Chain A
Amino acid sequence: GNSVTQMEGPVTLSEEAFLTINCTYTATGYPSLFWYVQYPGEGLQLLLKATKADDKGSNKGFEATYRKETTSFHLEKGSVQVSDSAVYFCALDLRGADGLTFGKGTHLIIQP
């Protein structure tokens, strides 16, 4: 079956530090890949996406590159802020079959 693996954390960093959250996937086809973010008490917000190999998604300083050879979609940001504290979910979509498959989520805490 399809699956997504990501570090669960919590991951604690100081403000302005470099961020990497690893995400690897297993899929029976060629999925689209997503990062969603969830702030306390809220639903999921789309952060970025990539739909084919070597695509780079980017938004609000966050980036992730679809690496087919390593089946990975690692999330990076050069300088994090306190406001980036949230839970980040990596997900894959195989054209709607069985919905989105999510990782367990990574709780990110940024300290001032």
Chain B
Amino acid sequence: KAGVTQTPRYLIKTRGQQVTLSCSPISGHRSVSWYQQTPGQGLQFLFEYFSETQRNKGNFPGRFSGRQFSNSRSEMNVSTLELGDSALYLCASSSGLAESTDTQYFGPGTRLTVL
């Protein structure tokens, strides 16, 4: 079974621009979560989508948004980029069922650099 894929792997943008990142979950998984990883703040939860609906949201400004399509693929958008948005953005997929055994599997990440 193919794992979680993320595109692109690397991005360089300038302040004020916007960016869209893509994530394809493991086949059969209906939940996609996004995380931001930085050296200073570590791994922080952005949001989770399940069946095309945002189900949970972390403590990030409205510049960070996402969506999920009917095939469970998800995109994350960051508008008006700031230098502090430079990070590794990780996507994780899971079945999304409310079971204790549900496990999130991560993709390789997209490295975003804002200049």
Using CB atoms, name the residue of chain A closest to B55. A96
Whether a CB of chain B sits under 8 angstroms from the CB of A34 is: yes
Query: In which size bucket is the chain B interface?
Result: 20 to 34
Tell me, in angstroms, the Cα distance from A76 to B35 when the chains sit together. Answer: 27
Which A residues lie within 8 Å of B96 (CB)? 96
Binds B, one of A15-23, A38-46, A67-75, A77-85: A38-46
- Main secondary structure, interface of A, reads loop
Cβ of A100 and Cβ of B104 under 8 Å apart? Answer: yes
Binds A, one of B13-21, B42-50, B65-73, B74-82: B42-50
A-B contact pairs, 22 of them (CB 8 A): A32-B101, A43-B4, A43-B6, A43-B106, A46-B104, A46-B105, A46-B106, A49-B103, A51-B100, A51-B101, A95-B102, A96-B56, A96-B94, A96-B98, A96-B102, A97-B56, A98-B45, A99-B33, A99-B35, A100-B104, A102-B42, A103-B42
Interface residues of A (CB under 8 A from B): 32, 34, 36, 42-46, 49, 51-52, 89, 93, 95-105
Kindly list 19 other residue pairs between chains A and B, CB separation below 8 angstroms, not including A32-B103, A43-B107, A95-B100. A32-B101, A36-B106, A42-B108, A42-B109, A43-B6, A44-B92, A44-B106, A46-B106, A51-B100, A52-B100, A95-B102, A96-B31, A96-B48, A96-B94, A99-B33, A99-B48, A99-B56, A102-B42, A103-B42
